[in-house]
Amino acid sequence: MSHPAGVDEHTADTSSYDRTGDVRMTSSHIVGLVARREILTRLKDKGFIVSSIFIIVLIMGSVVFQVLIQSGASSVAVGITGGPQYFSAAIEEQADALGLDAEVTEYDDESTAREAVQSEEIDAAVVDGNSVLVNESLDDALGAAISGAINGLTHAQRLADEGVSPEILQPVSLDVMSLQPAADAADEKGLVAFVSILLLYTLLIFFGQFIAQGVVEEKASRVIEVLLAAVKPWQLLAGKIIGLGVLAFAQLLIICAVGLGGAIAFDVITVPGAAIATVVQVLGWFVLGFTLVAALFAVCGALVSRQEDLQTVLLPMTLILVAALVLAITAGQNPNGTLAKVTSFVPALSTMVMPVRVATGSVAWWEIVLAVILMLATIVAVVRIGGRIYSGALLGKGGRVKVRDALAAERVS
């Protein structure tokens, strides 16, 4: 076409805007900008903050619950007045054998012992080695401990009276050969692993939903059109995953720190080293699992245009996570079973099953490496194929985009 009219005086081929302050737009800068927006937006979102606090409280609650169950190893206070020699030591010994932690106090006479029982200072008072004072009823285990102690001492006395050395009563000591030498430690690691995968599951679902909602919001509000004119789809996807990943990881760290601190303080776990190792391992698996889940959820979100349709497309993903949780709990009960072994290598499931296996069973180092490699390979595949679906589906209009159509759709450069 010929020359345009009316523009002769200012047809310089450059505009007169000052560009000296412009930033070089590397991919990492763009991804950083997107991630920054995600983080700032979420931190200002009341819904997000409230749900986050709810999750933290929920996890703390489950830790406290575990503490209460664990501390069920009850202690009892017993008073004695009169009775055979070595009586108090015998009661403590018998109680210990029955799993009770007995604290024995000697009283001068029956009336002071009775007062102590009435004021609930002690659970029971043994008078003269032949009667027991209690408020309502005698705890079975405590009763057994007391009668065991009296019987033992009486038998020893009678034998001594007959001239038999009490030595004969020394119980045959049993040689206990533990098949799992660190059974206690494994239990503790198992507990930490269980709480951790529960936490993992909750956070993965929670943040997966947030990512998918964010993707749908950009589609539903059509802001995606403005964004993709300046940003590549994969940069947008990566920014979202990293942004929400930072928030999720921060939340996980807070919960782990408080939870672990609390558990150590309340003596739920006594081997902090092992527990910390388990937590660190769970954190590592969380990073892998989060990347995979976030990418999958984002791709699903891109397939729909309305928040109402979101749950339908997310259902299969949610089911995978539920399956992983169930398998992980099963693995906790039978860490060396075939099911646990196989599923600990299956990507996505491995995120939750493998940490449990490591914490409760014996896992060779190469098994962990293999599971991690399989997981990384899956992440690469999902990000590549999912990224194509994501970019193909993002600009699709109305209703639900089919995966095949999204893959075939024009790819935005």
Binding site for another protein (CB under 8 A): 1-7, 10-17, 21-23, 25, 30, 33, 37, 41, 45, 217-218, 221-232, 395, 410-413
Is 19 or 136 the residue whose CB approaches another protein more closely?
Answer: 19
Structure tokens at 225: 């059109």
CB of 234 to another protein, least distance (A): 12
Distances (CA, A) of 2 to 5, 10: 9, 17
Q: What is the 3-state secondary structure (H, E, C) of 321-353?
A: HHHHHHHHHHHHHCCCCHHHHHHCCCCCCHHHH
CB of 376 to another protein, least distance (A): 28
CB of 45 to another protein, least distance (A): 8
Structure tokens at 125: 């008072």
Residues 393, 398, 404, 409, CA torsion sign: negative
CB of 44 to another protein, least distance (A): 9
Is 33 or 141 the residue whose CB approaches another protein more closely?
Answer: 33
Give SS3 for 156.
Answer: helix
Is 70 or 307 the residue whose CB approaches another protein more closely?
Answer: 307
Is 7 or 172 the residue whose CB approaches another protein more closely?
Answer: 7
CB of 195 to another protein, least distance (A): 34
Is 1 or 73 the residue whose CB approaches another protein more closely?
Answer: 1
Is 20 or 170 the residue whose CB approaches another protein more closely?
Answer: 20
Is 158 or 411 the residue whose CB approaches another protein more closely?
Answer: 411
Provide the residue type at 399 as one letter: G
CB of 41 to another protein, least distance (A): 7
Give SS3 for 232.
Answer: coil
Contacts 24+ apart (CB under 8 A), 378-385: 378/292, 378/347, 378/348, 379/288, 379/291, 379/292, 379/295, 379/347, 382/292, 382/295, 382/296, 382/299, 383/234, 383/237, 383/291, 383/295
Burial call 23-54: b when 16+ CB within 10 Å, e when fewer: eeeeeeebbbbbbeebbeebeeeeebeeebee
Helix (H) or strand (E) holding 272: helix 272-302
Measured CA to CA, the distance from residue 413 to residue 390 in angstroms comes to 13
Is 277 or 412 the residue whose CB approaches another protein more closely?
Answer: 412
CB of 251 to another protein, least distance (A): 21
Is 332 or 387 the residue whose CB approaches another protein more closely?
Answer: 387
Distances (CA, A) of 245 to 40, 181, 353: 13, 39, 21
CB of 243 to another protein, least distance (A): 13
CB of 311 to another protein, least distance (A): 21
Measured CA to CA, the distance from residue 350 to residue 368 in angstroms comes to 10
CB of 306 to another protein, least distance (A): 14
CB atoms within 10 A of CB 198: 17
**Under a CB-based contact definition with an 8 Å cutoff, are residues 60 and 258 in contact?**
yes
Structure tokens at 296: 């999958």
Is 258 or 412 the residue whose CB approaches another protein more closely?
Answer: 412
Measured CA to CA, the distance from residue 357 to residue 278 in angstroms comes to 11
Q: Calculate the dihedral angle through the C-alpha atoms of 232, 234, 240, 241, rounding to the nearest 10 degrees.
A: -160
